[in-house]
Amino acid sequence: MYKVVSLFSGCGGADQGIVGNFMFNNKKYNRLPFELVYATDIDQKALNSHMKNFECEKVVCKDICETGSEEIPECDIVVGGFPCQSFSTVNPTKDPFDDRANLYKQMVRVVKDKQPKVFIAENVKGMMTLHKGQIFERIIKAFEEVGYTTYTKLFNAADYGVPQRRERVIIVGIRNDLNDIMEYSFPKETNKNNWVPLSVAVPELAIEQEKYYFSEKAVQGMKNAKNNMKRGLYQDLNKPCLTGTSHLAKVSLNSRDPVLLVDPNKELYRRFTPLEAARIQSFPDEFEFAGSETDAYRQIGNAIPPVMFWHISNSIKKYLEMVETAEQKEAI
């Protein structure tokens, strides 16, 4: 088993993908040969969810800036979706040089000190183009300076069987000595021309729980809004959903948040339930979220889609196996 350190782990979307052994949309995602030995985040509630769902040797709620590399065990893989708010196109006014934007340096530090075979970093699409790409170039250079060859790709989760159009940058770093043996290739899209529809996550538009419906006042406010505002972005069940965010508990009809139109004649709109939101992210139904519904929405919206990350992790598995085979042949 390859040992995995999970930084900025949250509730464990990436970790579900790298471990595998789950069902989604009637498909089995097999167990992968990765073992979680360390997971850390500053959100205790998210880590409570993590502990409900994974067997991990050590789970630590601590600021990564205050965590010494000696506290982190030796590992084969480091995984991390460092905080993305400063890079997000949803929050274009955020300072790209604030403390959160610089948290990638902490992941670089851990990778430098632990020297895993591979690291996998994830972030939002906006990171690639912010400040004319200077931020992205800085991040790539930092990882390469500590001994890694980097591979980058803009992923759309919908291309890999997730019922959501969610674009994320994936950076895979291969330690140079391994890259000298063999180069890495990202997994091919499995659903490029066959996107999974939202109906997989939302089998019924009308539900009994009234708390998920928008009030008449909210609907009227949407109707009175300026014409140029993005209003009532209700989703087509026959297509993947728009990107879900961490504030799904407080979605608005006068925003870019995806919602559901239950009855156009009665002007009935509603938000997604936590279970539906989790399915949109491709979490298995049995995944448990700790805390309140608001906590669950935040954890879900901040997560990496497990199904997409499973495909990435499976490609890493195949790569490491091929490198080991090549090393064995070389030794003969």
**pTM attached to this predicted model:** 0.93
Q: Residue 88: what pLDDT?
A: 46
Structural domain count of the chain: 2
Q: Residue 100: what pLDDT?
A: 54
The arithmetic mean of pLDDT across residues 291-305, rounded, is 96
**Do 43 and 170 lie in a common domain?**
yes
Question: 263: which strand partners?
Answer: 268
Residue 90: pLDDT band with limits 50, 70, 90 = very low
Q: Which candidate in 11, 56, 75, 84 is catalytic?
A: 84
Residue 257: pLDDT band with limits 50, 70, 90 = confident
Give Cα separations from 75 to 3, 165, 248 (angstroms). 5, 32, 35
**Do 128 and 260 lie in a common domain?**
no
Report how far apart the first and last C-alpha atoms of the chain are (Å, whole number).
24
The arithmetic mean of pLDDT across residues 198-222, rounded, is 94
> What is the domain range of residue 146?
2-191+291-298+305-331
**Do 127 and 185 lie in a common domain?**
yes
Q: Residue 75: what pLDDT?
A: 98
**Do 157 and 257 lie in a common domain?**
no
Q: Does some domain include residue 285? A: no
Q: What is the pLDDT of residues 154-195, one digit of tens each?
A: 999 999 999 999 999 999 999 999 999 999 999 999 999 899
The arithmetic mean of pLDDT across residues 125-152, rounded, is 94
pLDDT at 76 over 80: yes
Q: 84 catalytic, yes or no?
A: yes
pLDDT at 134 over 50: yes
Tally of CA atoms within 13 A in the half-sphere of 122 that contains its CB: 27
**Do 166 and 220 lie in a common domain?**
no
